[in-house]
Amino acid sequence: MKKYTFLAWILPLALIAQQDAYLSLYQLNMPLINPAYSGAEGNHVFSLTSRNQWSNLEGSPRTTAFSYSTAVGKNVGLGISILSDEIFIEEQTTLTADFSYQLTMANEAALYLGIKAGGNSYSADPTALRGYDSDTDPVKRPLSRFNPNLGVGFLYQASNWWVSGALPRLFNARRHDDVVIQARDRMHTYFYAGAVFSVSDKFSIKPNIMYRNTKSIGAVTDLGVKASYNNTFDLGFSVRTGDIFSIQALFNINENLTLGYAYDTYGADQLSGLNLKAHEIAMRFKFGSSTEAPQLEEVPEE
């Protein structure tokens, strides 16, 4: 009974303050957030992510994300991104096409500028929910809408560090015309930065930070670090706003295939009594050759 009480409590928050799905292994699927990454990671790059959040609760959030990107010619990158998110009675699918352009900078650095165009299909049917009284709840009505949108982003990439920023949705579009229902495709701002520090010929340290701010909701900061062996196996952790701790492992099977796993757990707060956990797996595969620019999260050759 506690599980359903929790879902009934959190549903109004989801309708009023819905956000983009947050991935722990975002570094393996960055085109979902930032169109500037299209073409920056190489030719014919496929990424697939699956996340099961609060896995012990029925109707818990499930996210599936796919992206494809490739470099076209010398400076142009193209890509597509698909993100499907389900939570209890809500379903949404975001489909976008990405374009990026590379500017070569001094010291073998590169600046990528990107634009994203597409839209979000959202639906929710709360009519089956039971309330505490017989009065009609104006929020309990089916919602279904498609909102087109645009996004922009940049990526500055040097030999052993990078910084990026993105607004994947520029328009704060409503999901229903009724003033009572405040569900929106809210504007998100992302900043992501990381570096690679060589400790020896075999070992390196990879710190990173992800900052996300959602209009009218608040900010989330994710601080992480990984230890890398021979740029083949990475093991690390991250700490996120909201007292969320994540353990992550990445396996570079070969120069074309990377596999990742993340396990998230919540700290000693009001949600910990429900023993909430999250599991996430990701895969990135490169069919083509790498671009000439320095590759993300790789140790530069001496």
Q: How confident is the model at residue 14 (pLDDT cuts 50, 70, 90)?
A: very low
pLDDT at 243: 80
Domain 2-128+142-286: what homologous superfamily?
A: Outer membrane protein transport protein (OMPP1/FadL/TodX) (2.40.160.60)
User: 253: which strand partners?
Assistant: none
DSSP state string for the chain: -HHHHHHHHHHHHHHHS--PPP-TTGGG-GGGT-GGGTTTS-SSEEEEEEEEESTTSTT--EEEEEEEEEEETTTEEEEEEEEEEEETTEEEEEEEEEEEEEEE-GGG-EEEEEEEEEEEEEEE-GGG---SSSSPPTT-S-EEEEEEEEEEEEEEE-SSEEEEEEES----EES-S-TT---EE--EEEEEEEE-EE-SSSEEEEEEEEEEEETTTEEEEEEEEEEEETTTEEEEEEEETTTEEEEEEEEE-SSSEEEEEEEEEE-SSTTGGGT-EEEEEEEEEE-SPPPSSPPTT-PPP-
Question: Domain map of the chain by residue range?
Answer: 2-128+142-286
Compute the chain's Rg from CA coordinates. Answer: 20
Return the higher-pLDDT residue of 273 and 55.
55
Lowest mean pLDDT among 68-77, 95-104, 133-142, 183-192: 133-142
* Residue environment code for 78-93, b if the CB has 16+ CB neighbours within 10 A, otherwise e: bbebbbbbbbbbbbbb
pTM: 0.81
pLDDT at 137: 62
pLDDT value at 69 more than 90: yes
Among 23-37, 96-110, 142-156, 164-178, which is the least confidently predicted range? 164-178
* Sign of the CA dihedral running 7, 10, 12, 14: negative
Instruction: Tell me the Ramachandran region of residue 214: left when phi exceeds 0, alpha when psi lies from -120 to 50, beta otherwise.
Output: beta
Work out the end-to-end distance of the chain between its first and last CA atoms, rounded to an integer number of angstroms.
59
Structure confidence at residue 232 (pLDDT)? 94
pLDDT above 90: percentage of residues in the chain: 51
Instruction: Supply the pLDDT for residue 13.
Output: 40
